[in-house]
Amino acid sequence: MPFINSLFSWINIKRLNQIDEMRKDPVFFQHEEFNKLIKKGERTEFGKKYDFESITHIKTFQQRVPFHKYDDLKPDIERMIKGEANILWPKEVKWYAKSSGTTSDKSKYIPVSKDSMEDCHFKAGKDVYAIYTDIYPDNKVFSGKSLTLGGSHQVSPFSDRSQVGDLSAIYLQHVPFFFDLFRTPDTSIALLDEFEEKINKIAEVSVEENVTSIVGVPSWNLIMLKRVLEVTGKSNILEVWPNFELFVHGGINFDPYREQFRRIIPREDMRYMETYNASEGFFAIQDDLSSPDMLLMMDYGIFYEFIPMEDIESSNPKVYTVDEVETNKNYAVVISTNGGLWRYIIGDTVQFTSLYPHKVRISGRTKHYINAFGEELMVDNAEKALKEACQKTGAIIHEYTVAPVFMGDKSKGRHQWMVEFDHEPDDLNIFSEILDQALQKVNSDYEAKRRRNATLEPLELVVSRKGLFLDWMKKRGKLGGQNKVPRLANSRTYMDELIAMNQ
């Protein structure tokens, strides 16, 4: 489709130039976003509380406005859901993205203002395809349709003045009508509440379309693709959609799923493009598909701050802006957004892999780590070690989670891994040994605790039955959308539930 690609590139040439300028001078763009946010915030109850009108410098903002977690903003958000305006963001906000909960709540409700939808999420969606077309001008994605596995939405449980749902559902509900010409399935199917009904409908109707790209979370899309193969009786996805060339993914680490996708999409030049997005905002896009690093997008109505992980528990932690960060350090991400989140600790940790341009990799979660024995095991450590164990044994992982086994009167502690294999290794003991050794290579604290079994014994591997994680997520009401299998936990709550179901 050279004409369509050329037209799309011409339309986006100004935007691509802006992105190039952002690579060179991210600080300028961040100052611009900061000033816009403060100006907008002046009119809100929150802005008046902290006298935004007198804030002219970032340092003043940092000194005056405290960090917030969801529970800190929850009372204000509940007022907004009930229809009150000008609380955290100007005017009334009618849509809320339902996300995984906190320790005190099953769910969080993240405000999605008109500004955040248009200037963040829609803008990012267009940027993904602009960047992709810039890298691959001869691509054929516009010759067919993009398949989107959306979530669902409903009237708010607090008020009929607002609606809540997965961010993907809110996005699809508001996307301009002409985008419907380039996507499948139609909105009535994409927004079905029941995940299993949705994937069955998609398998029925979308197989007749010319699908050239898919956008979504790897785990849920893998289930959908396998269902498509079951319905059609085909051996791989290219027999269903021969022009399928791009999977835009985000939400969870792709590495544990990569081999499964390669098996069912046996295309040498298949392209996988990672994004970093969440209910709270869209943050980064992979702009070089030969590298896993993602470009941090500085002009989506989000102002970034970063807390070094070693200071995360401090009552007065150090905090850095984009001009102060260093490479190869773990930072907790703090955001102020055009949805009304102010100095909000999102819960993700990142590492900068380069500066100017500022590129990041997601390294884990501030809570999803194991530090039961002083080992400070991050998700990034677990993913790297799993990748090595799979490469050396030929195993393919479907899902996994890890929890501590605490010390007993006569026993030391250890980590317990529940793993659902798509392809089991020939020798589980060898797989466990490689995994344990790889963890020691990527985490010096774990290595120290494992040395001579000083504090930690070798990890324990529990092989789950097929479909266990899907059944568990279904039981918890967490199928589809933004829901993710928790990878690491400091408690045994998740693990004990899974073991009880592993029959």
- Least confident span in 88-92, 179-183, 341-345: 179-183
Q: Is there a contact between 333 and 312 (Cβ–Cβ < 8 Å)?
A: no
CB 113 within 8 A of CB 128: no
Asked which of 187-196, 239-248, 471-480 is least confident by mean pLDDT, the reply is: 187-196
For residues 254-283, one letter each, b for 16 or more C-beta atoms within 10 angstroms of the residue's C-beta and e for the rest, the string is: bebbbbbbeebbeeeeebbbbbbbbbbbbb
Q: In angstroms, how far is CA 372 from the centroid of its own chain?
A: 25
Structure confidence by residue, pLDDT tens digits, 196-225: 888 899 888 889 999 999 998 887 788 889
Question: pLDDT, tens digit, for every residue of 293-329?
Answer: 999 999 999 999 999 988 888 888 999 999 999 999 9
If asked whether residues 153 and 233 sit together in one domain, one would say: yes
Residue 275 has pLDDT above 60, yes or no: yes
Domain-embedded: residue 95: no
Structure tokens at 153: 């939405």
Please tell me which residue, 251 or 440, carries the higher pLDDT value.
Answer: 440
Average pLDDT over residues 143-167: 76
Q: How confident is the model at residue 155 (pLDDT cuts 50, 70, 90)?
A: low
Q: Do residue 337 and residue 259 come from a single domain?
A: no
Is 209 inside a domain boundary? yes
pLDDT at 428: 97
Q: Do 198 and 281 sit in the same domain of this protein? A: yes
**Spatial contact of 300 and 124, defined as CB atoms under 8 Å apart:** yes
* Domain termination site, one of 228, 252, 285: 285
pLDDT in tens, 18-71: 999 999 999 999 999 999 999 999 999 999 999 999 999 999 999 999 999 999
Residue 153 lies in a domain: yes
**b vs e for 296-314, b when ≥16 Cβ sit within 10 Å of the residue's Cβ?**
bbbbbbbbbbbbbbeeeee
Q: Is residue 108 part of a domain?
A: no
Are 315 and 412 found together in one domain? no
Give the domain range for residue 309: 2-73+296-365
Give the other-Cβ count within 10 Å of 208's Cβ.
9
Query: Could you tell me if 121 and 204 lie in one domain?
Result: yes
The pLDDT of 338-346, averaged and rounded, is: 97
449 pLDDT tier (thresholds 50, 70, 90)? confident
Given a cut of 90, is residue 356 above it in pLDDT?
yes
Q: Does 130 or 190 have the greater pLDDT score? A: 130
pLDDT of residue 103: 40
Mark whether 205 and 260 lie in a shared domain: yes
Residue 314, in any domain of the structure: yes
| Among candidate residues 285, 315, 342, the one where a domain is terminated | 285
Is 82 within a domain?
A: no
Residues 356 and 423 in one domain: no
Name, in order, each residue with C-beta under 8 angstroms of 118's C-beta and a sequence gap of 6 or more: none
Total domains, the chain: 3
Mean pLDDT of 402-428: 88
- Please report whether residue 96 resides in a domain: no
pLDDT of residue 255: 79
Q: What is the mean pLDDT of the chain?
A: 89
Same domain, 156 and 276: yes
Asked if residue 105 belongs to a domain, the reply is no
Domain boundary among 285, 317, 338: 285
Tell me what the mean pLDDT of segment 362-376 comes to. Answer: 76
Residue 102: pLDDT band (50, 70, 90) is very low
Residue 136 in tokens? 């691959």
Question: Are 167 and 261 part of one and the same domain?
Answer: yes
pLDDT at 153 over 80: no
Q: Which of 30-44, 94-108, 480-494 has the lowest mean pLDDT?
A: 94-108
What is the model's pLDDT at position 410?
62
Bridge partners (DSSP) of residue 215 are 148, 248
pLDDT of the residue at 169:
79
Mean pLDDT of all residues in 458-476:
94
Q: Are residues 346 and 388 in the same domain?
A: no
Query: Which comes out higher in pLDDT, residue 69 or 179?
Result: 69
Residues 249 and 305 in one domain: no
Instruction: Examine the domain organization and report whether 36 and 60 are in the same domain.
Output: yes
